[in-house]
Amino acid sequence: MDLSDTLAIGQILIWIGAIAYYIFAYKNKIDNIESKLNKIDISLEVTISKVNSIERGLKSARDCIRDLSGYLTEWKIIPNHLQNFDTYYNSNSPPQLTKRGINFIEESGFKAVFENNKEHFIKPLKERLKSKKEDDAFFYFCEEYSIQFTQELEENESELLSGVRGYIFKEGLYDLKETLFKVLGLYLRDHVIAAFNKATEFKQLKAKKRETNQ
């Protein structure tokens, strides 16, 4: 082996050494990045866990506020303008939708569905209530049958309520599902009563009840 061969081999070894060095250095950078990413993942998991805990705490607080509001309203401890905070309907008899309940009807899309499909809602309820029209408990049956009707639509997975289901899921309101379908029923009740031309009579009943409760 002459000198030129030795020099060539030396150059090759230098290149191999340089490549090995850069590979090692690059691997260290990758390892450092992976380590940082793992720390970020752990931090994100901790943050998500804390956010979930806060959400659960807020839900419990809302439930407590709603229940407390109902009790205080019933006991007439708080003034009318502060009653039924954070509730969908008040605890009066007959119950009425609050601003939050009306907002749910609109935001869930149920109001639009009802307006576009009135016959699908009103006709079967009028048929069920036909024999109760002159009954002293007509308004009671209107409320009961209207709530039952919305529950039946849900049990049968009716397409009429697909938008409401999506809204409940999107807004994380599944735990309030039973309450929210009662809200739909109360909304239907008022329209069914109007369909029987008894809206004025029902309004007078509500006014009389308010006077009695004051």
Per-residue pLDDT tens digits for 93-123: 788 999 999 999 999 999 999 999 999 999 9
Higher pLDDT, 13 or 158: 158
Tell me the C-alpha distance between 76 and 165, whole Å: 35
Higher pLDDT, 8 or 123: 123
- Residue 39's pLDDT is 75
Which CA distances in Å does 116 have to 102, 112, 119? Answer: 18, 6, 9
Q: CA geometry: angle at 192 spanning 191 and 195, to 5°?
A: 90
List residues bridging with 97 in a β-sheet. 89
For the chain, what is the mean pLDDT?
Answer: 80
Out of 41-45, 81-85, 141-145, least confident range: 81-85
Cβ atoms of 87 and 69 within 8 Å: the answer is yes
List alpha helices for 75-137, DSSP H.
99-107, 110-116, 118-129
Helix (H) or strand (E) holding 78: none
List alpha helices for the chain, DSSP H.
3-74, 99-107, 110-116, 118-129, 138-155, 162-170, 177-195, 199-213
Query: Which DSSP symbol is given to 157?
Result: T
How big is the chain by its Cα radius of gyration, in Å?
33
The structure tokens listed for 52 are 């979930």
The structure tokens listed for 148 are 């039952």
- Residue 13's pLDDT is 65
